[in-house]
A and B are shown apart, each in its own frame.
Chain A
Amino acid sequence: MADSATSLERLAAEAAGNVRAAADPHGADGERVTAVNSEKNRPLYASRVKVYPKLVGGTFRRLKWIVMALTLTIYYVTPWLRWDRGPSLPDQAVLLDFPARRFYFFFLEIWPQEFYYITGLLILASLGLFLVTSVAGRVWCGYTCPQTVWTDLFIHVERFLEGERSARIRLDRSPWGIAKLARKTAKHAVWILIALATGGAWVFYFADAPTLAADLMRFDAPAIAYISIAVFASTTYLLGGIAREQVCIYMCPWPRIQGAMFDEESLLVSYKDDRGEKRGPHKKGTSWEDRGDCIDCGQCVAVCPMGIDIRDGMQLECIQCALCIDACDAIMDRVERPRGLIAYDTLSNQQRRKAGEPQRLSILRPRTIVYMAAFALVATIMLVALVNRSTLEISALPDRNPLFVTLADGSIRNGYELKILNKEHRERIFRIDIEGLEGATLTRPALAGEEGSTVLVGIDTLRTVKFFVSLPADKLDRLRGGEGMLTFVATDLEDGTRAERTASFRGPAQ
């Protein structure tokens, strides 16, 4: 904190100059603080004014460091985790294997037709998001959203190379020279490196990470890998480095949706105007009577990555990152007033304080209970579905051209394409039987390579096999209107697991 020595009086004096700031958004000396994205400072037809967030220390900043470290670690490390699935299967813990059409997630393995597990996961994620939002506002936006995490990271790079807020403002105002060029080049270079690493990590989720990494280094990887890296690197650079808060304000739908999840009991980052007003500069040693605790130092605005003033009340632009809480708490400590002028607060408690009633929190209320119940319900359904996930499926597709064949002895034969899915990580031998059509016999075409009705299906694969079912001429009366039904049964010879599939049998209409 380069300007930690700045006296409170000076801060206050700067804030007083804010009135003039509309014409010159950041003030002539770069120390004045204006919420550039505050509604009153942002005319509809104006270009964006850059935001220069100041670094702040405190509880929430520490929390954000931890969340950043955690989320970035998860993102970069996950593809490198190994998970043994036995021979001939990938040993990457998390892998979206498009060529083989499998999604591996630790102990889980999803086939394309089981995509409903992902749907369920997305529903759970949405419900979780609704629940958290109704309890404590835009926690997702403020702490964990990739846009927030990467923007935060990019701002730290910028701060490291160009200095604190005021230094950055001065640098941007200064004419171009060697020093400025060097700093700017260094910043963009580091941003691009981070962006490349981000795009680079992304592709490892889609192929074996160590192999792909080696291929990428040798310029031997598939073109799509380089294209994906380029696309993700450029979007990371653009969204995290250049566009920043504009993504949240103009591009993201979530700020518009969130309004439906808040209510008067939601904990939101708020300025307690009942305590803060009437705001104004305060001289050390003078009385705190007949005035609010807000000394209008503008620090809440200076640290805001969105360029707004939390004291304007709840607003769409606020991502609720809580950095203004840290900034204000630090000032409150210095002026020896209680912390929490800006804090997680509810609208109800604001009303209660104004009415002189005791404050209280109601986390458990109909809205949150409904979200929790829905979450539990979906989670249970998912769990039951997962536990009962079958590892054997068969399907039977009758030939349509021709529908049936009359054989020399007058019997009728239908052809079927049987698909047998073995989702287990071992070879399995199945016996195929037919049930439900009296007198029908099961045969396999010549040259099938296998005899009789046993079928070997390899590890974790689907096998298509052709079968014929014949019905003797004297049993054709079993067909009604030229159609009968039969059931194919696949039985695992080893453990007796069964799967059935009913199919129609066609013959001439009698």
Chain B
Amino acid sequence: MTDSPKNEIDDVTGVETTGHEWDGIRELDNPMPKWWLYTFYACIVWSFAYWIVMPAWPYLTTEGWTYTKGVIGYDQREVVARELGAIAEGRADEMQKIATLALEDIAAEAALMEVALAAGKAAFGDNCAPCHGSGAQGSWGFPNLNDDVWLWGGTLEDIRTTLAHGIRWEADSDTRQNVMMAYGRDGILTRREVADVAEFVLALSGRDHDADAATRGAETFGEQCVTCHGADGEGNRELGAPNLTDAVWLYGGDRASIIESVSNGRSGVMPAWGERLDASTINALTLYVYSLGGGE
């Protein structure tokens, strides 16, 4: 920017000015600070070295886009795979124990149990949370795993069986299987009979009901429902038939929901996780679910 051969020299500093002036303020033409300049040069050298050493430039080949791989062949995917491998290797012993030991023995060993619960929690978040909720709180049609109600049993072994083989999962021959028939839709009961049974079910759990209708419903209940739900309505674990006298309702316990259940039946499905997850994960999940507070 120096147009004149020699710019003015500043009186105070003795430094040449650039010839730029703003409102009487003139700019000194000091050199760059050396440390700054050398850092800048070092950065330039560094960037060239970086292009050679590390993956850097994209280029087009006949097979599509690729990039210069760099002489050390650094690849972040490999790093991640290696790190994950190292983690898996680091806890291989524990996971092996969790896969093979009896569930009670895992629970008895505090350090192992800690690993199992952590693994179970992670696996739960990945696989179970979409239906059962992140806190295993469940929702309509998906059981709350924190409570003390277990349709198919709440012992460690029961929970593992449910996890491994699922419920009404046809691809698994050992899956838990039962049918709540669609009494109304299939014409087994009339609408009136369905309504009466619903009144009786309401009476079972001590809620407001029409006593006359409930008495009529009791008769129908005795004919159609006792096989699974039992004479007193307390259900049957063997068959996965829910207890109708308790306070927990998977599909709602109000009159309309009960009529809906009796009319159209219910047949929720849980996948058989045994075919997707390994033994250690199934066992870890079993212990985690059990530890949520409802285990029997």
Q: Write the residues of chain A forming the contact surface with B, with a CB cutoff of 8 angstroms.
A: 45, 399-402, 405-410, 413, 415, 445-447, 449, 468, 473
Residues A406 and B291 in contact, CB atoms below 8 Å apart:
no
Q: Are A408 and B291 also in contact (CB < 8 A) when A45-B13, A401-B137 are? A: no
Closest to B150 in A: A408
Are A410 and B247 in contact, with the CB atoms below 8 A?
yes
**Is B167's CB within 8 Å of the partner chain A?**
no
Ordered nearest first, which 7 A-B pairs have the shortest CB separation? A401-B135, A402-B137, A410-B247, A408-B246, A446-B295, A405-B146, A447-B107
Question: Of B14, B136, B247, which contacts A408 at CB under 8 A?
Answer: B247
Instruction: Note all chain A residues with C-beta closer than 8 A to B287.
Output: 447
Task: List B contacts of A473 (CB < 8 A).
Answer: 247
Contact between chains at B147 and A407 (CB < 8 Å): yes
Task: Report whether B13 and A405 are in contact in the complex, using a CB–CB cutoff of 8 Å.
Answer: no
Whether B243 is near chain A, meaning CB under 8 Å from some CB there, is: yes
Q: Across the interface, which residues of A come within 8 angstroms of B201, CB to CB?
A: none
- Tell yes or no: B273 within 8 A of A by CB: no
B247 touches A446 (CB 8 A): no
Known contacts A401-B133, A401-B134, A449-B110; is-contact A406 B248 (Cβ 8 Å): yes
Taking a contact as CB atoms closer than 8 A, the residue among A401, A405, A445, A449 that contacts B147 in the complex is A405
B248 vs chain A, min Cβ distance (A): 6
Contact with A along B283-296 (1 / 0, CB 8 A): 00001001111011
Task: Say whether chain B's binding surface is mostly helix, strand, loop, or mixed.
Answer: loop
How many chain B residues touch A (CB < 8 A): the figure is 29
Contact of B290 among A407, A413, A415, A447 (CB under 8 A): A447
CB of A455, distance to nearest CB on chain B (Å) = 14
Inter-chain contacts of A445 with B (CB < 8 A): 291-293, 295
Chain B nearest CB from A489 CB (Å) reads 22
Q: B144: CB under 8 A from chain A?
A: yes
Would B144 and A415 count as touching, CB distance under 8 A?
no
User: Residues of A contacting B113 with CB < 8 Å?
Assistant: 447, 449
Q: Is there a chain A Cβ closer than 8 Å to B148's Cβ? A: yes
Centre residue among B108, B144, B293, B295 by max chain A CB count within 10 A? B293
**Shortest Cβ gap from B109 to chain A (Å):** 10
Q: Is the CB of A408 within 8 A of B293?
A: no
Are B291 and A446 within 8 A (Cβ)? Answer: yes
A449 to B292, CA, bound (A): 15
Check if B149 is an interface residue, CB within 8 A of chain A. Answer: yes
Contact indicator A407/B247 (Cβ below 8 Å):
yes
Contact with A along B117-155 (1 / 0, CB 8 A): 000000000000000011111000000101111000000
CB distance A402 to B146 under 8 Å? yes
A406 near B147 with CB under 8 A, answer yes
Complex Cα–Cα for A258 and B144 (A): 66
Is B246 a contact of A447 with CB atoms below 8 Å? no
Whether B135 contacts A407 by the Cβ 8 Å rule is no
Q: A45-B13, A401-B133, A446-B295 are known contacts. Are A409 and B246 too (CB-CB below 8 A)?
A: yes
A-side contacts of B12, CB under 8 Å: 45
CA distance A408 to B249 in the complex (A): 9
CA distance A400 to B136 in the complex (A): 12
Chain B positions 219 through 249: 1 when the CB is less than 8 Å from some CB of chain A, otherwise 0: 0000000000000000000000001001110
| B246 contact set on A, CB distance < 8 A | 408-410
**What's the nearest-Cβ distance from chain B to residue A141, in Å?**
28
Are B248 and A413 in touch, CB under 8 angstroms? no
Contact of B243 among A399, A405, A408, A449 (CB under 8 A): A408
With the chains together, A445 CA to B289 CA distance in Å? 12
CA–CA, A415 to B180, complex, Å?
A: 34
C-alpha gap A468/B293 in the complex (Å): 8
CB proximity of A404 to chain B, nearest CB, Å: 9
Q: List 11 A-B contacts (CB under 8 A).
A: A400-B135, A401-B133, A401-B134, A406-B247, A407-B147, A409-B247, A413-B147, A445-B292, A445-B295, A446-B291, A447-B113
Interface string of B64-107 (1 = CB under 8 A from A): 00000000000000000000000000000000000000000001
